[in-house]
Amino acid sequence: MPPKPLSSTYRDKLIARFGRVPSMAELAKLESATHRMSLEIYRPVTALDKSIEARRSRTKETIGQLVAALTRPMTNQDLATATGIHLSTVCHLMLRALDEGAVKRERIQRMYVWERADSPDKPPALPPIRGVVYATIAAAAKALDVNAATVRRAFKRGTQNNIGLGRQPGFKGTPRWAKTS
């Protein structure tokens, strides 16, 4: 005997399954026994591409747009107006461009003025850190296992040879093993 064709209405499906039409409370109890909610079943569909590689490529493209827009010395607000990119994004990405060596900045009163580096292909040479010359601030920070801001501050103070040596809390000065006296 061929199987009975399924009905197309929800009511008929309930009658076929339970023999009657249960109330919503009964249906919830009956369904909870057969289906368990888990996060593996529910995966929200998002319109934006959240993959890391796509974000990185968009970030590099945006940094390229900002550097290309630097036809003259400009502030963050000038760059935001010229490119149409939000001001906070400009601030963040210009620091990334500074770490990569694509731009240089100068502080004038309360603002930073950004300029292109002499050669965008070749970043400016950084002073050596304990005899090693790193290509970028980001590369130095990664190799020394510190934050890029730490490397920038050390270059500004002229204490780049001490980067990453004092890892203990409250450390000040030269480590004991490095003292020559």
Torsion angles phi and psi, residue 29, rounded to 5? -65, -45
The full set of domain ranges for the chain reads 8-38, 52-116, 125-165
CATH topology assigned to domain 52-116: Arc Repressor Mutant, subunit A (1.10.10)
Q: pLDDT tens digit string along 95-147? A: 999 888 889 888 888 888 999 886 544 445 678 888 888 888 888 888 888 88
Say if pTM beats, i.e. exceeds, 0.85: no
Of 106, 138, 137, 100, nearest in space to 120 by CA: 100
Of 144, 79, 139, 141, nearest in space to 105 by CA: 79
Q: Give residue 181's pLDDT.
A: 58
Per DSSP, the residues of 135-180 read: SSHHHHHHHHTS-HHHHHHHHHHT-GGGTTT--STT--S--GGG--
Q: pLDDT tens digit string along 2-60? A: 555 545 577 787 788 778 888 877 877 776 655 554 444 445 545 455 566 777 788 88
